[in-house]
Structure 1
């Protein structure tokens, strides 16, 4: 016969688990908009009040039928451009790619959309022996919809004869290792995407936030990242994420806005999740970013 105290402990553990699961399922659907304002003297006057919606880590999630809730919330941000930061799908053989394709199609009908790969897209690309040509088909469909897919390249964005740069970097598999953070050097960035054009405002789509120091050293003025899902569980009051997908406890970069010198990183909590569908105190995020031109010398 099980002692009373052990039975009580088991019952409490079961109740706690049920409460966590139910709370997480509810939180996974509580989509919110987080607003950020980026000020820099490098932002041309033609890009003053230029609005960017940044979406990342959808992982095939849906908010309303065919993501209508998500699309409506994007519309309220009145964006000039949509940036997708990767991991919009799930790299498993039994997972459909229809949800992110439909979302990108609907967004591209209304806005310019630029799409960078995360580790899930890159896993599809690098493992054709497992996934076949699914990655090629996916990218082909994105391009058919008018989405600009970016892979280790820079696009020059123009407004009224003034310019900013948008770069997307595909990180090597070693930079997604679990339990450790390999060193990334500025040379690694330059080998992948070349040198930054430092006289113009430089946006960098880099899925993994661990290497913000390197991105800043390379020359990124604004880094947009995801991957960490906000730390899955966030601790209220201190507002810290508990664990990253690479099994880092209390990661240095978990979610929100970070600064190194004149570089800013916006790290989205992302929209979905995959293997462990856990979110607590960590609502899915649409990032609405407004660029502000400044003629003075103070950046932050």
Structure 2
């Protein structure tokens, strides 16, 4: 994988790796009792952290609007720019190569207020034919005053992104509503408000409802209103997954039940949990490579088709 021409990858020693994991590996003799074993784990973690996977999904709907047949939605999530090891140039190449019709980002773009200086470099070059939409995550709220948060929103809008904060936007030419539910992890979500514009539409309309939310903890309320596809993130797919041990991050009620990545249909809602691109707390992944997800919509009855590519 190409490494960043803009900054050097972090040098991670075996000692700092084990210390950074807070003793998870150090306490597991089968993984870290030898120098060779520890070095092997470190190499694997570095590989998993920097090897971006592309998850391709073909999703079929019997009632899909004709305007959406063959259209492609690309999802990014959890970039955590503060310690992201992938370069903006690399991400631009990977995303734009997918020719998105819609590009969506399901929260946690930043981890610290200093990340504001990196937002334009990563997000402005990304292209999508019909629009770029974002919802907030817990980290997008945690480090800002109200004034700085407003500057953050203005920055996103200024580089062509549309933040949806408990709001929705109709794309009439696609028979599509993009519905943004604000972050559930910090209790900013208001699903009723998010669907308010849809509630006022003519009852004869049957558009496709694409719902974005950082966390699956909004699912119960979303299911009451209905969604054709719900895209989320937040769990990083566990981020650190050691066989026989609990993943490092599963911090949702579905995650606690073992549902913290991938495609599922729950309460009648087709749901996707993105592993994200960056890391939280520990700047490493293990058995959980970063991803971008690419969904192509088709009119029909076929079961979902999934392919992973590097």
Under TM normalisation by the shorter chain, which class is it?
Answer: 0.7 to 0.9
TM-score (norm 1): 0.77
Match of residue 242, structure 1, among 239, 247, 250? 247
1:253 match: 259
Kept in 2: contact 1:38–1:290 (CA 8 A): yes
Write the deviation string for residues 168-193 of structure 1: whole angstroms up to 9, x where unpaired.
Answer: 011355559xxxxxxx9xxx521454
Match of residue 290, structure 2, among 281, 284, 288? 284
1:201 aligns with 2:208: yes
Give the secondary-structure state (helix, strand or coil) at the position aligned to 1:217.
helix
Write the deviation string for residues 104-160 of structure 1: whole angstroms up to 9, x where unpaired.
Answer: 111158772111111111224xx51xxx7332222212111121121111111233x
Specify every segment of 5 or more residues in structure 2 that has no aligned partner in the other structure, as ranges.
1-28, 200-204, 305-310
Comparing 188-197 with 70-79, greater Cα deviation is found at 188-197
Match of residue 154, structure 2, among 140, 147, 152? 140
2:230 match: 223
Where has structure 1 moved over 6 Å in runs of 4 or more? Answer: none
Q: Distance in 2 between matches of 1:109 and 1:247?
A: 30
Give the secondary-structure state (helix, strand or coil) at the position aligned to 1:78.
coil
For the structure 1 residues 174 and 135, does the alpha-carbon distance in structure 2 shift closer, same or farther, using more than 3 Å as the test? Answer: closer
Q: Distance in 2 between matches of 1:250 and 1:149?
A: 29
Q: Distance in 1 between matches of 2:279 and 2:180?
A: 22
1:232 aligns with 2:239: yes
Q: Distance in 1 between matches of 2:197 and 2:172?
A: 20
Structure 1 residue 204 displacement after superposition: 0.6
1:24 aligns with 2:36: no
For the structure 1 residues 18 and 136, does the alpha-carbon distance in structure 2 shift closer, same or farther, using more than 3 Å as the test? Answer: farther
For the structure 1 residues 21 and 262, does the alpha-carbon distance in structure 2 shift closer, same or farther, using more than 3 Å as the test? Answer: same
Kept in 2: contact 1:42–1:200 (CA 8 A): no
Match of residue 170, structure 1, among 158, 182, 189? 182
TM-score (norm 2): 0.74
2:12 match: none
Superposition RMSD in Å = 3.3
1:57 aligns with 2:72: no
For the structure 1 residues 190 and 13, does the alpha-carbon distance in structure 2 shift closer, same or farther, using more than 3 Å as the test? Answer: same
Q: Distance in 2 between matches of 1:211 and 1:169?
A: 8
Structure 1 residue 276 displacement after superposition: 2.0
* Residues 70-149 of structure 1 mapped to structure 2, 5 A cutoff: 70-90=91-111, 92-93=112-113, 95-108=114-127, 112-124=131-143, 127-128=144-145, 133-149=147-163
Match of residue 45, structure 1, among 66, 73, 96? 66
Write the deviation string for residues 245-292 of structure 1: whole angstroms up to 9, x where unpaired.
Answer: 538775432111001354211111000012122311111001011111
